Amino acid sequence: MSSSELRDYLQNYDGPEIRIMEVCGTHTHEIFRQGIRNFLSPKINLISGPGCPVCVTPASYIDEAIYLALEKNVTITSFGDLIRVPGTSSSLQKARAEGAKVKVVYSPIDGEKYAKEHPDEQVVFLSVGFETTTPSDVIAVRNAIRDGIGNFSILTANKTMPGAYEAMADSTDCYLYPGHVHAIIGTGICKDLQKRGVSGVIAGFTGEELLTALAIAVRKHSEGGPFYVNAYPRVVTDEGSPAAVKLVDEFTRPCDAMWRGIGMIPGSGVELKEEYSSYDARKKFDIPVLEKEYKTACRCGDVLQGKIRPTGCPLFGKACNPDHPVGACMVSDEGACSAFYTYGGSL
Ligand code: SF4
């Protein structure tokens, strides 16, 4: 089908109603940017899911980073958007104003390089993300070992998608699986989920690829029964990237992970193996359990689970906007609240 035929099909669809969850924040933003929501049939309900790594990083993780910076005099290196994410009572941006050393870097490898150039500082990289970013976190640790760098470590909050797919299955009729994640992990999990009654389509990132994936989801849903389709075969193969998987397996092991607003999902994270514990900031600095009460009117948890749209949050566009974000979903460029604010209004 051509793009205009796909568009006509999605606009005029009159079959059974379908909820499609865009797991990936990049999909959410691209769907808005391409104006796809504007013409979809009212029978097609797009839900923005938990696939923005910054959005699902829990407040307690930010507290740990602030603790390292203020109590242990550690230099924090991080991607820029994480610095504005609220912890339970502060953020790294505020901690920086109180004297914490917080450096924005563009990759974990830059964090390791900074540590190499500043041997008198203890340097920690904030390691958050999904299967797409964990290999580069591991490479930074591997480089530090290779270079004999003892003043570098990572604070892990790395997550894996399969556990989230399972946890959110009731919120959607079909996942729009993120193509870049499955370029790494392959398609096995999608086939397993189909056997357990969970449907999904692996989608690329161009307008035409998204229209194709949405049209497949709608067509298959109207035919009935659980389904799985790889609509991004030019990049995603069944086996994924065995080299990246092997690299991550060599350095990490699965662990339970806390997702902001969702809670603990068993086995949905990775942490460094015991033999690399001197590069694991949580162990190296013996970070205590920082139990703080987290009171907020932010509804990020409900947004991330597809229970409400960002516009359903009473703070949306009022107390919370990109210049003054109250929650992580408004901070990150990949966050659903940021996407709705930038492109969507009440869509
Ligand atoms: S609009 Fe702001 S306060 Fe409301 S859920 Fe989104 S990030 Fe949280």
d(CA 82, CA 91): 9
Q: Which of 84, 308, 326 to mutate to test the pocket of ligand 1 (most atoms within 8 A of CB)?
A: 326
Give the H/E segment covering residue 166.
helix 161-168
The pLDDT of residue 293 = 65
The pLDDT of residue 324 = 87
In the CATH scheme, what is the homologous superfamily, with its name and number, of domain 1-297? Answer: HypD, alpha/beta domain 2 (3.40.50.11740)
- pLDDT digit string (tens) for 262-301? 889 999 999 999 999 999 999 999 998 876 666 778 898 8
- pLDDT digit string (tens) for 71-103? 999 999 999 889 989 898 899 999 999 999 999
d(CA 111, CA 63): 20
Cβ neighbours of residue 288 under 8 Å, at least 6 residues apart?
67
**More confidently predicted of 200 and 58:** 200
Asked if residue 136 lies in contact with residue 105, where contact means CB atoms within 8 angstroms, the answer is no
Domain parsing of the chain, residue ranges: 1-297, 300-344
User: What's the CA-to-centroid distance between 327 and ligand 1, angstroms?
Assistant: 5
Q: Which residues line ligand 1 (CB under 6 A)?
A: 298-300, 303, 310, 313, 315-316, 320, 326-327, 329-330, 337
- How would DSSP label each residue in 109-142? HHHHHHHHH-TTS-EEEEEEE-TTTHHHHHHHHH
Nearest CA to ligand 1 atom 3: 298
Q: Which of 57, 320, 341 to mutate to test the pocket of ligand 1 (most atoms within 8 A of CB)?
A: 320
- pLDDT digit string (tens) for 222-248? 999 799 999 999 999 999 999 999 999
Strand partners, 324: 321
Categorize the per-residue pLDDT at 179 as very low, low, confident or very high, splitting at 50, 70 and 90: very high
- % of residues, the chain, pLDDT over 70: 98
Strands 44-51 and 18-24: parallel
